[in-house]
Structure 1
Amino acid sequence: MAQASASFSEALSSAATQAMATAGAFVGYIVLCHALRFRRTRKKLASYPYRTRADYRHMTTEHAFEIQKYLYELEFPFVTNKALEFALFRTYGIPSISRLLLATKQLSTPEHAPKRYIDTEVIIGEFMSFAPGSERANTAIARMNYIHSMYQASGKISNADLLYTLALFALEPVRWIDRCEWRKVTDLERCAFGTFWKSMGDAMEISYDELRSAGSGWTDGLHWLEEVEEWAKKYEETDMVPDVANKKTADETTAILLWDVPKAMYPFAYKVVSALMDDRLRKAMMYDAPSATFQKNVYLTFRIRAFFLRHFALPRPWFLRFQRIAEEPNKNGKTYLLEWPNEPWYLEPTFLNRWGPKAWFRWAIGRPYPSVGKYGSEGFDIQRVGPKTFEGKGLPEIDKTKSKLLAQGRSGCPFAFAGKP
C-alpha cells in the first residue's frame, strides 16, 4: 500500500513538473515573439536619422519609400494589401469617377474589369516596389500620367478626382493598420506615407491649391498628410453621394475582391464587404447595411487575428516577404507577376503556377487558371499596360516624361524648399 502511494506521489510530482515546464516554455515563447516583433520595428526605424519632429522635414522620398515598403512586405502585408484594394474601391463612391469608368466599360463590365484591375495593380506596384529614382518606377508613373492625360484633356478627370485618389492611397493603409493590426503606425511611419505620396503627387503634377497650406508649404509629411485627410473628408461630404454608376462599378469590383470565394458563400462575403464600409460609402454604393452585430463581429475577427500575431507569431522572415512583381525582367525583356488576384495575367507558366494548389483551387470553383499562351504569359511591358484603346500608344510621350522625372532626382526630400510645394 505504501509503495503504491509513493508511486502515485511520484507520478503526480512528475506531471506537475511537466506542466510547469510546458507553461514556462509557453510563456517564454510569448515573450520571445513579443520581443522579436518590437525589436525589429525599433531596429528598422532607428536606422534612419529622424529622431524628432524637427527632423521629419528632412525625410527623403527614398527613405519614405523604404519604410513604406518594409510595412507592405514584412510588417503588415495582408492588411496593407487589402487597404490598397479598398482605397481603389472607395474612389468609386464618387460619381464623377465611377461614371467615367462606366462610360469606358473598363471597370464596370465582367469582360474588362479583371484585366483593368490587374493593370492598375501593375502600374501602382511598379512605383511602390522600386526606388523613386529608378527607371522602373518612373516609367510606370510616365505610363500612368499618359493614360490620365487623355481624360484630363477632355475634362473627364478633374484635379480633385486625382487628389482624392492620391489621398486615399496615402490614408487607407494607415487607417487599416491602426484599426486591424497588432500595433499602430508610428509617427515616423505616418510621416513616410505622407512624404512618399506627396512626392508621387508632384510627379503626377497634381495641384495642391485646395489644401490649407498650399501658399506657405508643408513642414513635413505628417503636416501634408493631416491636411490631405482634412480636405478628403470635406470632399466626401459634398461629392460622395448615391449614384447608379457607383453601384455598377462597385458590384464588378466587389466580384474581383471576392474572386476566390465560392459562389455559395457570396451572400455572406458581400455582407463582409459592406460591413467594412462606413455609412457614407455604403450609401454612395447603394449597398444594404449589415446588422450592427455582424459589423462588430467582422472587426472582432480582425482584433483576434491582431492579438494572435502580437503574442503568438514570430515576425515574418525576409525570405517570405510579400512580393507581387518580379525584381528582374525575363528573357523577353518583360516582367512577370508573382501573384494573381483574379485572372492569371502576366504569370510565368511554371509547373507550380499551372498545376499547383492555387491553380487546382481556381479550377474547382470555376475560375481561370494559368495556361500556356493565355493571359499574357510572357509577362508585361509597363509602357504598354492599360486599356486596349491605349495599347502601343504614347511611347514618345512616355519616354519624354520618364526622362523628365529621372532628371528631377525624385529620391530627395519633397519639402526641401519651404513655400514651394
Structure 2
Amino acid sequence: MDEQIARIMVGLKQLPIRTLLLEFWRDSRKRRGLSAALLAAYLLIQRSVRYRRLGRLQKVYRKYTTREEMASMTDHDAWEIQKQMLAMEFPSATVKALQFALFRTYGIPTISALLLKTSQFSNPATSFKRYADTGALIGQFMAFEPSSERAQTAIARTKFLHVGYRSSGKILESDMLYTLSLFALEPIRFIDMFEWRSLSDLEQCAIGTYWKSLGDALEISLADLPSGPNSFRDGLHFLDELRAWSLKYEEDYMKPHPSNKEVADKTMDVVVYSMPRFLKSAGVNFASCVMDDRLRESMMYEPPSATYKTIFSSLIALRKFYLRHLALPRANFQRIDVFTDKPNEYGRYYVKLYEAIPYYVKPTIWNRWGPAAWVTWAMGMPLPGDEDDKYYPRGFDLEDLGPKYFEGKGRKSVAAIREQLKQERRGQAPFIPELPSAEDAKYEVVDGPEQVSEA
C-alpha cells in the first residue's frame, strides 16, 4: 500500500501543474473527473495513515501481544502508551474524561459533603483555583515519567494533602478507590463514546497497569477487589474487577443529596464560565447529556430535552465520522503539551493551555494581546497577568499546589514521601509479585492537613 501511494505522489509531482489547472477550469467534465480523482487519492492516503499510529504502537510494544506477556508490562511502558493517547491520539476525549471523572465523584454524598466542609466551593475564586490545582497535580504524574522527580513530587504532594483526612476517617478508603477507578475507566468510556475508534487491548492494558501502579504509590487499598491487593493477572484483569466494583459502589452509594447538587452547581459554573450568558443554559443541558441517569439523579438535575439529546448525539456522530473517514492523524507539531517542561527563572512551571481562568499561565504578549486574548477581553474574562499576582503569573510550585492555606506547608513531608517513592516506584511491572509494593512505604508525615486551619 505504501509503495502504491509513493507512486501516486511521484506521478502527481511530474504532472504539468499549470496545464492541468487550465484544463481543469475549461472543461466541466474534466473538472468533475479530476475532483473525483483527487478526492479518491486523498481518501486512499487518509485510510492508509489513519491507523498508522496504532499499528506503530503495536509494533513497538509487540512484546505485550498475549495476556501472559501483558502481565509483565512495566509502569514505564504503560505510561508511554497512555501518553500517546493523551498528547497525540485522543487528547480532547482523554482530558474531558479526566475532568468528568472528578465531577462524577461529586455524586457520592460522603465526597461532596467533605468538599463543602473544606470551603473550597464557598465562592467562585476558590472553585476555579481548586479546579486548576487538581488539574496541575494530576497532569504532572500523567505527563511525566513515573520515576521522574516531577511525577513523584506531584504524587507526594497529593498524598500530603489527603493524609490527615484519610487518617482521621474523613476521607473513606472506599471513596479513594472509587476515585481511582474513575480516573482509570472514564477515559476508556469517553473514547469509546466520542472518538473515531475504541481503544485496543494493548492501550487498555496500559491504562490498567498505570493506574494500578499509581494506586500503589498513593497507598490506596485494593483489598475490596476480588483479586486484591496483588493477585491481578494483568492490566486488563485489574480493569475488569475495578469496573465491576465501581458499578456496584455507585449502585449502593450514588444517591440524591443536597451536597451533591451544591458541589455540582459550583462545578458547572466553572464549566460554562467562558460561554456567553445566553448560551450558559444550553451548555448545562449539553453537559447533562454526558451524564447517565444515576449520576444525574444523584445531583438532582433534570434530564435534557429530546431536542438537546438529538442535537448532541448528531454532533458526536458527525465528529466521529469526520475523524475516522476524512481527517488526517495529528502531526507531531500538533502534539498537545499542557505544561512547560523546564522550570522558569522562579523555579516554577507554567500552564500552556487553560479554560476560563488563567491560573499559572505566563502573561506573554501573545497571551495578552493575541486574537484569542481580544475575544477573552471582550467577554469580560481575565487575561494572564491581570490583577497582579492573583492568578500566579510566575507559574506554580509543585510543592505549593492545593488550597491556599496549605501554601508553604508540608515541604518536609513531601520530601520524605518523595524519597520513599524513589525506592518504590521505579517504572517496574506492578503485576510481578516479587517486586516491592508502594503499600510498604514507611515515612513520617509532619505538619499534615489536620494540623492546618481551614479558616
Structure 2 partner of 1:4? none
Change (3 A) 1:12 1:66: closer
Measure how far apart 1:259 and its partner are. Answer: 2.6
1:344-364 CA-to-partner distances (Å, cap 9, x unmatched) read: 111111101111222222222
Structure 2 partner of 1:228? 242
- Give 1:330's match in structure 2, choosing from 340, 344, 353: 344
CA–CA distance in 1 between the matches of 2:435 and 2:294?
35
Measure how far apart 1:215 and its partner are. Answer: 6.1
User: Comparing 354-363 with 330-339, which one deviates more in the overlay?
Assistant: 354-363
Structure 1 partner of 2:53? 40
Measure how far apart 1:52 and its partner are. Answer: 1.4
Report whether the alignment pairs 1:111 with 2:144: no
Structure 2 partner of 1:23? 36
Structure 1 partner of 2:407? 391
CA–CA distance in 1 between the matches of 2:133 and 2:73?
31
Contact 1:217 1:420 in 2 (8 A): no
Measure how far apart 1:45 and its partner are. Answer: 2.3
Partner amino acid for 1:39?
A: R
Measure how far apart 1:410 and its partner are. Answer: 3.0
Measure how far apart 1:312 and its partner are. Answer: 1.3
CA–CA distance in 2 between the matches of 1:357 and 1:116?
28
CA–CA distance in 1 between the matches of 2:343 and 2:32?
55
Measure how far apart 1:165 and its partner are. Answer: 0.6
Report whether the alignment pairs 1:379 with 2:395: yes
Q: Which residues in structure 2 correspond to 1:239-388 (within 5 Å)?
A: 239-371=253-385, 373-374=388-389, 375-388=391-404
**Seq. identity, %:** 45
Measure how far apart 1:266 and its partner are. Answer: 1.0
Change (3 A) 1:29 1:108: farther
Equivalent position SS for 1:334 = coil
Equivalent position SS for 1:111 = helix
Contact 2:24 2:31 in 1 (8 A): no
Partner amino acid for 2:361?
A: L
Partner amino acid for 1:323?
A: D
Structure 2, unmatched stretches of 5+, are: 1-22, 438-455
Partner amino acid for 1:236?
A: E
1:325-347 CA-to-partner distances (Å, cap 9, x unmatched) read: 11111111111110122311111
1:236-256 CA-to-partner distances (Å, cap 9, x unmatched) read: 001101111111111111111
Measure how far apart 1:419 and its partner are. Answer: 11
Structure 1 partner of 2:167? 153
Contact 2:221 2:229 in 1 (8 A): no
Structure 1, unmatched stretches of 5+, are: 1-9
CA–CA distance in 2 between the matches of 1:241 and 1:12?
66
Q: Which residues in structure 2 correspond to 1:169-188 (within 5 Å)?
A: 169-188=183-202
CA–CA distance in 1 between the matches of 2:162 and 2:196?
37
Equivalent position SS for 1:112 = helix
Measure how far apart 1:418 and its partner are. Answer: 7.2
Measure how far apart 1:216 and its partner are. Answer: 6.4
Partner amino acid for 1:24?
A: A
CA–CA distance in 2 between the matches of 1:328 and 1:99?
38
Change (3 A) 1:321 1:115: same
Structure 2 partner of 1:407? 423
Provide TM-score, normalisation by structure 2.
0.87
Contact 2:230 2:431 in 1 (8 A): no
Partner amino acid for 1:177?
A: I
Contact 1:216 1:419 in 2 (8 A): no
Measure how far apart 1:366 and its partner are. Answer: 1.8
Partner amino acid for 2:429?
A: C
Measure how far apart 1:273 and its partner are. Answer: 0.8
Measure how far apart 1:293 and its partner are. Answer: 4.5
CA–CA distance in 2 between the matches of 1:11 and 1:379?
55
Change (3 A) 1:11 1:279: closer
Equivalent position SS for 2:248 = helix
CA–CA distance in 1 between the matches of 2:397 and 2:153?
10
Provide TM-score, normalisation by structure 1.
0.94
1:181-234 CA-to-partner distances (Å, cap 9, x unmatched) read: 011100110001100000010000010110011266001000001100000000
Measure how far apart 1:13 and its partner are. Answer: 9.8
Equivalent position SS for 1:157 = coil
Contact 2:233 2:431 in 1 (8 A): yes
Change (3 A) 1:11 1:184: closer
CA–CA distance in 2 between the matches of 1:229 and 1:296?
29
Report whether the alignment pairs 1:61 with 2:91: no
1:74-104 CA-to-partner distances (Å, cap 9, x unmatched) read: 1011111111111110000001111111111
1:47-80 CA-to-partner distances (Å, cap 9, x unmatched) read: 0121112211011111110111100111011111
Structure 2 partner of 1:3? none
Contact 1:107 1:117 in 2 (8 A): no
Structure 2 partner of 1:214? 228
Greater RCO (CA < 8 Å, at least 6 residues apart): 1
Contact 2:217 2:425 in 1 (8 A): no
CA–CA distance in 2 between the matches of 1:278 and 1:212?
26
Contact 2:424 2:436 in 1 (8 A): no
